[in-house]
Amino acid sequence: MNEAASHAENVRDRHHTLRLRRLGIDTHQEPVIYMRSDCHVCRAEGFTAHARVQVMNGGHSIVATLNQIKSDLLKDGEASLSEAGWRLLGAREGDPIAVSHPSPVSSLGRLRAKVYGQRFKDNELAEIVRDVVAGRYTDIELSSFVTACAARGLDKGETVGLTRAMIDAGESLRWDRSPVVDKHSVGGLPGNRTTPIVVAIVAACGLTMPKTSSRAITSPAGTADTMDIPSMRRVVERESGCVVWGGAVRLSPADEVLIRIERALDVDSEGQLVASVISKKVAAGSTHLVLDLPVGPTAKVRSQEAAEVLARSLVGTAAAFGVHARVVVSDGQQPVGRGIGPALEARDILAVLTGRPDAPSDLRTHAVVLAGALLELGGVAAPGSGDAHALSVLSDGSAWNKFQRICEAQGGMRVPPSADHRREIPSSASGRVTAIDNRRIARIAKLSGAPEAKAAGVELHVHVGDHVRAGGPLYSIHAESPGELVYALDYATANQDVIAVGDA
């Protein structure tokens, strides 16, 4: 050990321990450390507010952002963490922690080179993704990575490299059966919640479909959102299918971090989209994959040509990991089903599964097409006969039977909640519905509180082609709080053309 390093050890041993006290400050995902501005560590280390600080607690270590306390919230020798910090560090009240300068994050040099136009090499993407998962990137740096990948683009090799890096940075599942099938819908289409129906159909046909998702709402009938891997294995062992949230099994932890930034920016580049989708499917042990690409003027994919480019990249990247993928291009001109929001979507799904005559037929048809493709891909149905096979399993009640058994195995089915605050939005004219804006309808659902507020969202009363009279209902907003209802209504009032009504 050289002189400087040994000096560093001494300084740390002698002076840099603080005792943790809980202040109960919730900063969401961001780890923050609170230290008195006049504490000996801040003085000795020259820490100023917003500095990045390495925090060690026994074997655990995180990098946190420093907020300084200029009052008596903390006593001399004390420090605190944000709720995310306690969680990440596995710390308890009274634990002694050591703090120091974090070592520089060398992968940031690779990011800068990309901003200036150089392409990433594989090992560079691996280095970046490891640092991202370890929490060593600030939000500013994460945003720069997401933006640089969107603005400069990722070529085929970079996309495969990013996919591999994201797989390697998380856990992976292996199944002792084959094929293991899965589906993924490329977003942008509100209410497009076919997954539980597809799982029920293909599992009823004996195919294995252990469905995980990064979206928080995949269990529309209210089964447990999260599940550990052994429990998930038991469910799949027994029922061939399951519907759980990927966040709990950490299949692609980098993706969770990047998706938060992509959503905040509403930026979604092709390379990152492909890496996100394929990394999670490979990590989940899928061997066969159907990809749903809705195309429409307000969907994520706007044209047939864009769909073909994206499909090639998805199928090619999947193939690089030995996964057989098939793309189904679908009609993305409007939302699927009637409900947008967890409970409202659950209602649609249950209506389709139980074969109610008023079930949304677009949702049923779309689920049947995707399930049919999986049945063919998985070798259960002959080419060209998948849809008919899927439809019969749905119609004869075996899919509904399978769905109930999966829910039971995952901890029981709950009734979807309903919202206390509702408002119907009427049409200002008579005529035919000519268009529904997916993005703005999704925004209204978000303003109403969905998906955090499970009962909140939008209930569509019309679809494209329907006739309406002036004053007749177009859609209803559901909310769990009056404030959220008001904000959704404000936006709805300012956006009367979200559902366009033309001459009859």
Q: In the range 94-113, which residues lie near its own copies by CB under 8 A?
A: 101, 108, 112
Closest to 111 measured CA to CA, from 137, 85, 72, 79: 137
139 CB burial (10 A radius; 0-12, 13-18, 19+):
middle
CB 197 within 8 A of CB 167: no
Q: Which residues within the stretch 443-472 sit at the binding site for its own copies (CB under 8 A)?
A: 447, 449, 452-453
Applying the rule CB under 8 A, the residues between 15 and 54 that interact with its own copies are 22-30, 34, 37, 43-46, 48-50
Q: Would you say 50 or 60 has its CB closer to its own copies?
A: 50
CB atoms within 10 A of CB 119: 14
- Alpha helix (H) ranges present in 301-397? 304-320, 342-353, 361-377, 386-395
Closest residue by Cα to residue 437 from 501, 362, 498: 498
Structure tokens at 320: 């690089």
Whether 97 contacts 65, CB under 8 Å: no
Tell me the window of 134-142, 192-200, 225-233, 374-382 that interacts with its own copies (CB under 8 A).
Answer: 134-142
Examine residue 306 and tell whether it contacts its own copies (CB under 8 A). Answer: no
Is the bond into 102 cis (omega within 30 degrees of 0)? no
Residues comprising the chain, all counted? 504
CB distance 209 to 182 below 8 Å? yes
Would you say 61 or 392 has its CB closer to its own copies? Answer: 61
Count residues binding its own copies (CB under 8 A). Answer: 74
Q: Does 92 bind its own copies (CB under 8 A)?
A: no
Distance CA 379, CA 376 (A): 5
Q: How many CB atoms lie within 10 A of CB 502?
A: 10
Query: 255 catalytic, yes or no?
Result: no
Site for its own copies, residues 474 to 503, rule: CB under 8 A? 479-484, 486-487, 489-490, 492-493
- Which residue, 323 or 425, is less far from its own copies as judged by CB? 425
Residue 5 per-residue DSSP state? H
Sites for its own copies among residues 2-21 (CB under 8 A): 2-5, 7-8, 11
Q: Tokens at residue 153, please?
A: 């683009």
Q: Is 147 in the site for its own copies (CB under 8 A)?
A: yes
The answer to whether residue 261 forms part of the interface with its own copies (CB under 8 A) is yes
* Bond prior to 253 in cis (omega within 30° of 0): no
196-216: string of b/e by CB count within 10 Å (b at 16+)?
bbbbbbbbbbebbbbbbbbee
Question: From the CB of 246, what's the least distance to its own copies, in Å?
Answer: 21
Q: How far is the CB of 482 from its own copies (least distance, A)?
A: 6
Which range binds its own copies by CB under 8 A, 146-154, 203-211, 313-321, 410-418?
A: 146-154
User: Which of 89, 133, 142, 407 touches its own copies by CB under 8 A?
Assistant: 142
Question: Quick one: 249 or 492, whose CB is closer to its own copies?
Answer: 492
Among 59, 176, 230, 266, binds its own copies (CB under 8 A): 266
Binding test (CB under 8 A) with its own copies, winner from 117, 230, 322, 465: 117
* Token reading at 414: 């709950």
Of residues 119 and 432, the one with the C-beta less far from its own copies: 119
Nearer to its own copies, 70 or 174 (CB): 70
Selected from 264, 388, 415, 504, the binder of its own copies by CB under 8 A is 264
At closest approach, how far in Å is the CB of 97 from its own copies?
A: 16
Residue 1 as a binder of its own copies (CB under 8 A): the answer is: no
- DSSP tag of 90: T
Residue 309 found at the interface with its own copies (CB under 8 A): no
Q: Which is nearer to its own copies, 59 or 494 (CB)?
A: 494
Site membership for its own copies, residue 427 (CB under 8 A): no
Nearer to its own copies, 147 or 398 (CB): 147
Least gap, CB of 112 to its own copies (angstroms): 6
Smallest separation, CB 226 to its own copies (Å):
18
Please pick, among 122, 225, 268, 466, the residue that the annotation labels catalytic: 268
Hey, what are 310's tokens? 């994206």
Stretch that binds its own copies, among 206-214, 264-272, 288-296, 385-393 (CB under 8 A): 264-272
Site for its own copies in 150-169 (CB under 8 A): 150-152
Question: Which of 352, 51, 324 minimizes the C-alpha distance to 191?
Answer: 352
Give the Cα separation of 24 and 94 in Å (integer): 14
- One-character DSSP codes across 159-172: HHHHHHHHHHTS--
Q: How many CB atoms lie within 10 A of CB 380?
A: 18
Task: Supply 326's token pair.
Answer: 């098939």
Catalytic residue set: 268
